[in-house]
Chain A
Amino acid sequence: GNSVTQMEGPVTLSEEAFLTINCTYTATGYPSLFWYVQYPGEGLQLLLKATKADDKGSNKGFEATYRKETTSFHLEKGSVQVSDSAVYFCAHQGGGADGLTFGKGTHLIIQP
């Protein structure tokens, strides 16, 4: 079946460090891929997305590239800030109306 696997946290980094959060998926066909961010006490916000192989989604300094050959969509940021502390969810959608399949989330903590 469809699934998303992402590194479990918490991931603790110092401010201005390089960030990578790994995400791999299993799915039939060619799903769209997403990263969502959840700040404390809030709902999820769409961070970026990619809809086909080799697409790169980017937003707020974050990037992720749709790698079909490795079924991966790793999230990266060159220099993290304290305000990036949140839980990050990788997700895929195989088309249709039945929503997204989410990973379990990665709690990111950025220390000043």
Chain B
Amino acid sequence: SQTIHQWPATLVQPVGSPLSLECTVEGTSNPNLYWYRQAAGRGLQLLFYSVGIGQISSEVPQNLSASRPQDRQFILSSKKLLLSDSGFYLCAWSVGQVDNSPLHFGNGTRLTVT
């Protein structure tokens, strides 16, 4: 069966520090991968998605970047965190090249920028 791992679960970082959140998927090949952010009291905002290694689409211009160095690894990064980057970050995957395949989410990373 497929599983998705996301870490760390919680993170407290000072303003201006770098960020690296990792997400890996097991049990499937060539998945579509996604990073969402959930800010307090708001819905989910799609940040990045990827349909293959090295292929990243950005939905919202901001202080973050994403990379996919391996088929089942998706990394969210920042060089210098802002207070507004605080939130709950969710990684998700779906079956590649299949229309309307549902998303499957990891357990999220709670990021607090102080």
The judgment on whether A and B are partners is yes
Closest-by-CB residue of B relative to A103 is B43
Q: How does the 8 Å CB contact mask read for A63-99 relative to B, with 1 for contact and 0 for none?
A: 0000000000000000000000000010001011111
**Chain B contacts of A25 at CB under 8 A?**
none
B57 touches A98 (CB 8 A): yes
Q: How many residues of A contact B (CB 8 A)?
A: 22
List of B residues within 8 angstroms of A103 by Cβ: 43
> A32: shortest Cβ distance to chain B, in Å?
4
Q: Which residue of the partner chain A has the closest CB to B51?
A: A97
Sort chain B's interface into a size bin.
Answer: 20 to 34
Contact of B107 among A42, A95, A102 (CB under 8 A): A42
Interface residue ranges of B90-114 to A (CB < 8 Å): 90, 92, 94, 96, 99-100, 102-108
Interface pair B44/A102, CB less than 8 Å apart = yes
Q: What are the interface flags for A31-74 relative to B under an 8 Å C-beta threshold, 1 for contact and 0 otherwise?
A: 01010100000111110010100000000000000000000000
Digitize A5-45: 1 where CB-to-B-CB distance is under 8 Å, 0 elsewhere.
00000000000000000000000000010101000001111
- Interface positions of B (Cβ within 8 A of A): 6, 32, 34, 36, 42-44, 46, 49, 51, 57, 59, 90, 92, 94, 96, 99-100, 102-108
A-B contact pairs, 8 of them (CB 8 A): A32-B102, A43-B6, A43-B90, A43-B106, A44-B92, A95-B99, A99-B92, A104-B42
Interface residues of A (CB under 8 A from B): 32, 34, 36, 42-46, 49, 51, 89, 93, 95-100, 102-105
